[in-house]
Amino acid sequence: MTTPVVDVVDVSYRYPDGTVALTAVDLHIHAGERVALLGPNGAGKTTLILHLNGILMPQSGSISVSGIPLAQDSVMEIRRRVGIVFQDPDDQLFMPTVWDDVAFGPRNLGLDGPELDRRVAESLDTVAVADLSDRSPSHLSFGQKRRAAIAGVMAMQPDIVILDEPTANLDPAARRELTAVLQSLDVTQLIVTHDLLYALELCERSVIIDAGEVVADGPTRALLSDTDLLEAHRLGLPFGVKL
């Protein structure tokens, strides 16, 4: 068995106010997988993904990325390997142009000159926004901003990309464009979503988390066909849809 890109073992976390956010969570994601992380509001999804790049540190258990244990002395390398695309792209786009935004991370790694130009150009091409490189992010549509944010993450050449509610606020056309981009990316992906049909479209495997615990992990279609499982964890397909 290959080394998992993400290896979460028995991780628990309690917030300072006493709220238990994660309890003995195990999650293993291998190279090339595209996995959906599903669960109701307050289930612990955000807390979990913030652990995966060291924004939060586990209070018990362990996390490793591509075999590198998450620790204080490795957190910067972990953050390079784990790219997070947040729900609101305006949280990530802050430079004068799209090119500057995509270049920001690699430049902080010390890249410059032709190598930086090549990295940025490849990332822009990957998500089909090369024609927007000179535009101000503030003048883009929401879908264009989302793809520009993904380009910025891809420019860091991560081992895994985590997308938090990637379809939020997208119209049908932008959703289709995003789907094509995600399907084309040659990188392991964890997609956090409430959109069960989107999970089915993109991810062969899904993980359901509720009350801070992983309650199901398996083929997406099988999990979404289990109406008792969905109801027990406040999930549901759109009205009239049956698998």
- Domain coverage including residue 21: 6-232
Residue 180's Cβ-side half-sphere holds a number of Cα atoms within 13 Å equal to: 12
The phi and psi torsions of 139 (rounded to 5 degrees) equal -100, 10
CATH code of the domain in which 97 resides: 3.40.50.300
**Is residue 165 included in any domain, yes or no?**
yes
**Is residue 238 included in any domain, yes or no?**
no
Residue 232's Cβ-side half-sphere holds a number of Cα atoms within 13 Å equal to: 11
Contact 203, 231 (CB under 8 A): no
Here the tokens at position 198 are: 């989107």
**Is residue 186 included in any domain, yes or no?**
yes
Instruction: Write out residues in the chain with pLDDT < 50, as ranges.
Output: none
**Is residue 240 included in any domain, yes or no?**
no
Domain count, the chain: 1
- pTM for this prediction: 0.94
Cα–chain center distance at 181: 14
**Is residue 239 included in any domain, yes or no?**
no
Give per-residue pLDDT as tens, 125-154.
Answer: 999 999 999 999 999 999 999 999 999 999
pLDDT in the model for residue 1: 64
Q: How many angstroms separate the CA atoms of 212 and 191, rounded?
A: 17
pLDDT in the model for residue 237: 87
**What SS3 class is residue 189?**
strand
**Is residue 25 included in any domain, yes or no?**
yes
**Is residue 243 included in any domain, yes or no?**
no
